[in-house]
Chains A and B, each alone.
Chain A
């Protein structure tokens, strides 16, 4: 399928999802659906660096939060509409990703992961100590009363996140099948061998951290309007870091479908668990599933399906 055809198909699915959500006609569907969609963007973003390039980022919550806080800053200064703020949030975290890439160039494996975690902690501390955006107390955001074409602001946010999810998955698929994606896969398999095959590994890694950062910031951009009250503990929540790793891992890390499937499954499961049991338990479920998949199906669901269909073909 050509990239354009894929985008059209994805958009058609998104429209169908939106129509289905409106027929339920319950505000809660938008609330829960938004979270799942947000995780599709976040997991897809993480996977460009983690899955395609092989660099595990533990700092997703930092990128997500900086995306959200960029919206807060824009809200308090320029007061631009959300749809204009989103690309600016992405730009901010793209620069953050580029900076992280530069600072961690020589780090690999676990050292890279630790550096990303440290960066998220530093960012958290900075935000806590920045009164303009509410510091540790947090900040309230007032949603616009109504938006054109939509039946309430929550429905609008849902539609925005749906569109962002389509764009994120489309970009991931584009990268995956491009020369860039092939180069990233070579880096993931063996960085030195990649360099010796002519792959400019440094440049490609920076593109990867930048693009991944961009999409993570985009995922966090509408967050202040979603929660209407942003504080560092909410924005830098552990759940973002854990889920953005767990979802691609459970879905499968080598293709765009992996994070998508993982986010839909885990995201929905957590929503159900949060409502029926408790939110603490929902993170526990993620942990247990993570352990199960890492030990039993390290290539995720996509890998599992591929292995099964191959076995069937070979009789």
Chain B
């Protein structure tokens, strides 16, 4: 059993001449809750894309559960137990809410028969109940509200039976009550053994959730450690919180 579930070292990514990520070391321990902060355009989503294989990092390596994964296609990484939500929800719009979740169950969830998962969530209905979409299972996913779309993103990510879940701004645009709802959900998943990375601008949620906090600024990691210490770091205050 490897103590670290994810270890990305020296990750670099350019778009043309623009350096989106440079020398990023990012690790997650088994069962850990990590928050990621950073101004708009600092490279948070790009990091998620590199970790999941949606984009290929040009430098560095990614080890998941003791094995190199940076050569693998996205669906292979997902099947190994990394899952992510999209910052801008991407539902399968021609399908119902239930069918959206079933895709992930059919293609990734079924493979992970052991390991931590949602207790008793053997099928789409249970997962939808968990995120509070149970009553809307048969609605067309194209008709959902923004809040429900974010819940669907989480439901679909969970249906792949992840051991590491990366939530890319799953709470953006939600009301305080809705943020609390999602927060409770993520904490519950974490309690069942899933490591979670939460990328978020909402300070309150980040501080409440994170056991550790990383800060990205302009493609570089400028801080990584205890959340209370990190937010008091002068460099972080200057670069991010002080503006």
Where the two chains meet, the residues of A that have a C-beta atom closer than 8 Å to any C-beta of B are 179, 182-183, 185-186, 188-190, 192-202, 254
Contact = CB atoms under 8 A, between A and B. Distances in A.
A183 B107 contact: yes
A13 to B, nearest CB: 29
Main SS at interface, chain B? helix
Contacts of A192: 54, 90
Contacts of B46: none
B94 interface: yes
Residue picked from A186, A188, A254, most chain B C-beta under 10 Å: A186
A66 B142 CA distance: 40
Residue picked from B52, B54, B74, B159, most chain A C-beta under 10 Å: B74
Contacts of A183: 103, 106-107
Main SS at interface, chain A? helix
B94 A198 contact: no
Nearest to A188: B94
Given A182-B102, A183-B107, A198 B160 contact: yes
B75 A185 contact: no
Contacts of B74: 195-196
B86 interface: yes
Given A198-B79, A200-B73, A179 B106 contact: yes
Contacts of B76: 200
Pairs A-B, 7 closest by C-beta atoms: A198-B108, A198-B107, A189-B92, A193-B90, A197-B104, A195-B74, A198-B78
A182 B103 contact: yes
Contacts of B13: none
Nearest to A201: B75
B93 interface: yes
Interface string B153-189: 0001001100000000000000000000000000000
Interface in B42-95: 52, 54, 73-76, 78-79, 83-84, 86, 90-95
A198 B75 contact: yes
Contacts of A186: 92, 95, 103
A286 to B, nearest CB: 26
13 contacts: A182-B99, A190-B93, A193-B86, A195-B73, A195-B78, A196-B83, A196-B84, A197-B103, A197-B156, A199-B103, A200-B76, A200-B107, A201-B75
